[in-house]
Each structure stands twice: as structure tokens, then as C-alpha cells.
Structure 1
Amino acid sequence: MNVPAIRALLVDDELLARLAIRQALATHSDITIVGECGNATEAKQAIEALSPDLIFLDIKMPGMDGFRLLHGMRRDTARPMIVFATAYGQHALQAFDANAIDYLLKPIDQARFDQAMARVRQHWGGLNNVATAAKSAYQQRISVVCGEHVRVIAASDIDWIRADGNYVHIHASGKSHLHRETLTGLLASLDPARFLRIHRGIVVNVDRIAEVHPLFQGSAEVVLHDGTRLNLSRRFRASARLALGMS
């Protein structure tokens, strides 16, 4: 399995400390720095915007410290891996209580840093194995009876699905296919990271969504890339907001 590169965020109020981590990472080509922050307030915004896989985090910073930053992270987002890098050794137990991967003391020692990166890679590989196994458990193809033959539709080709009693209409590649299965039953077999219920009778592939237009009384309209317009009911708006990163 090809493990994706690790996207890292550096959080430290000292520029020289961030530079030291950059230099230590120079020999680790599988880790890409996606941003730097000089305080926890900036870091909170960067985490929400960039969704880093790994954070190198100082503890004592002006204003909010590193532990308060972690405590205030949104519960509905994936928790990044944390490596603390600090000048203070007395917070190690608290750091591991926060499920940190490692705890580095400044000034950074390259050999000790490389050990920490080995732990990061081990943990990262485990996370990706779990994600791959979970993804493979979802239905990747749907077989639809069409007269005397069977049409196989890849889940990734589905644009949206509409319920029709004990049947569903599967819209894919500009065509509609009638399939004997309830919408609830079919949705349970599809990857929830890809397919979103926006109405009691409608499920949409989130990759096909181009725009969302607010309407009256909390409802909204979802516009797909092909121009299809679908109703987003008030009941499902909260889950859609999370899935689409809407404010």
C-alpha cells in the first residue's frame, strides 16, 4: 500500500524554533510543511483551513498555550498527530495524556528527532491501514437489472440517487437507472464520506456538488456540476454543513 505524504503544521511563537524544526525535517522527504503559526490563535484557524496530518506544537506561548489549543479543537474533525517541541520537560506526562506521539526538548537533537519521526510514520501507517480497510468494506459497484441483462455501475460514477418506494433511481453519467432496493438500505452500503443524504428521499455524491443556495425557512438548494438542482431539507442541513465545510 502506498502511504500518502504527511502534511505538517509548525506552531511555535519563536521563529528560530520553527526554523530548527524545518532543518530537522530536511532529511524527511515524506513530510511536507503546509504552514507555520506564531501563536495558538493562528494555529486554530490554520488547523481548520488546512487539516494537517501532523502538528509540531510548542506548549508555552503568549495567550493560549498548546494544551488549551488541543482542548479547544473541533470534535467533528479528524485529530492530527501531535509532536510537542518545548523547552520544558515537566509537561511530558500531560502531553502523553493528550495522546501525543512524542515529546521533544529544545534544542532539537537530530537523532532524537529522527526517532520521533519513526514513531510518527508507524502511527500514520496504522491510520491508513484502518482507513483502507474501512473503505474496502463499502460497496464499490452496484448491479442493476436492465431487461434481460445486468448493468454494473461504479459507485464513483453515481451523481445522485432518488427514492421511489422500495426502489431507487440511480443517476449516473447522464442516465437514470431503476434499482430494486430501498434508499436506506443502499445508503448503508455506500461510503458515508462520499454520499450525503440531503433529503428524506435524496442522496448525493458530494464530489458532484458545485453550489448551495439558501432558501426560505432553513431549507436550501443544492446545484450539481451538471446543473441538476436538488432540495436540501432543513432536517439534513446540519450534516451537509459539516460534510461540505459550510460555515
Structure 2
Amino acid sequence: MSDPRPQAPARAVATAIVAEDESLLRQSLVEQLLRAWPELEIVAECEDGASALDAIAELQPSVAFLDIRMPGLTGLDVAAAAAEASPDTRIVFITAYDQYAVDAFEHGAIDYLLKPVDLERLDATVRRLQSQSGVGLDAALIEALAARMRGAAFGPAEPLTWITASAGRETRLILVDDVAYFRADHKYTVVVTAEGEALIRKPIRDLLEVLDPTVFKQVHRSTIVNLRAVAAIVRDDSGRGTLRLRNREETLAVSAPYMTLFKHM
């Protein structure tokens, strides 16, 4: 016989992802979090921005702890895309750049932890997260913070202008401006130009650190495209997209989480 008494609704379990490229720091933060917030379920641990964005879009966590400086997409890039991919996810940045970031982080929807993570500060962050439900991120604030961090904290850096790549027994000197896109291929990266393909050993996530971010955009975990080589962007009903290129017949798939990076195009 069933119990007719009304049942209390199940309490939603708080979930989180932790994105930090240094494995020891990532492991330490996970352990500290589980001590400070035993009920929290860590649903993914990520070592780069691309995997963090994919995890946020797929798992829709309550909280995302994002290292600002990660290979490939930075924590700022991931947060900007997550504002649409998972609007209820709260963002906590992990940073070593206190002097550039703290005033912007204090606006409320964004929190921060300084490296090395202080337990007292972590406890305060946990209490804030527990007392507030998910709220939409201020995309303009993230954009302004990104410009400030890159210009001041990271310092100016000259983007890559040419690369040496292998095509059979031949070694080619390729101008980066001539590259249509880069595609990950196991331990190598395929460099695709209008004339053909070549291979380099540098992985995708390291390439993003040295390419001009205003020209080259990651559109998939395995693909970086030169925006100057794009003829058109086609959006479908599922939120994904397809890029048509100027001098190549193939098209490139754009994962749904990355479509937000193209909203101003």
C-alpha cells in the first residue's frame, strides 16, 4: 500500500566543473572544495578552455571554477560563451592577477579565487554560492575585463606570422595569413591552405596562445579557423553552425557552444 502523505520535493544537488590546466592545482582545488562544500558534486575536471566549454554546455553545472589563463580558450572566453550556453551557471574565476581583477569581480555575478587558494576565501565563496541562485552573467563586464586583463596583466605579445610544416619529405614555410584553418589530428595539427595540407607537431591548444585572437577563432575542439578565409556562416535550428570557406570546397562545423563567439559577425 502506498504512503498517501505528501513527499517533500527533492533538493537539487549543486554541481560544478573545475577547469585548471595545472593538474596538481586542479586536484588541490577539488579536494578543498569537497571539504568546504561536501554536498557539491564535481561533474567534470578540465585541463583546457575547450573541454571546459563543452562540459558546461553539456552538463549545465551550477558552478564553473575557471582558471583565467588556460591553453586555447581562456577562462574569460569560456565565461563569455557560457553566458548563452548555460546561463544559470555561476562563474568563479581562478586568477593570480589580483591587482587587475578584484574590482571587476566584486560586481556580484562573478566571483574569484586567488592562487594559491586561501581556505578562508574559499569558504566565503562557497557561502555566497550557496545563498544565491544562478544569475545571468554580464557579458559586457566580461568583455571589459578580458580587454583589461589581456592589455595589462598578460602584456602585449606579437602573434605568430609564419610556421614551418611538413608535407611528405618537403618542409614548407607557410605565412599564417595564408592558413584557412588548423585541424587537430592525433599528435599533429593539419595546416590547411588554399594550396593544400601540411603537418606541424604543435597541438591546437598551444597554437591559440600564439595566433592573433582577432583573426583566428576556435570553432570546435579540433578546429581553429582564419576568419579572413570565411565566406559565410550558416546557423541551424539546433544552435550549431557551418562555415563556408573562400578558397576551399569543404565546410567546417561549428559546435553550438562556440557559436556565441560569432554573434557579432
What TM-score comes out, normalization by structure 1 length?
0.47
Say which structure, 1 or 2, has more relative contact order (CA 8 Å, 6+ apart).
Answer: 2
Structure label with greater radius of gyration: 1
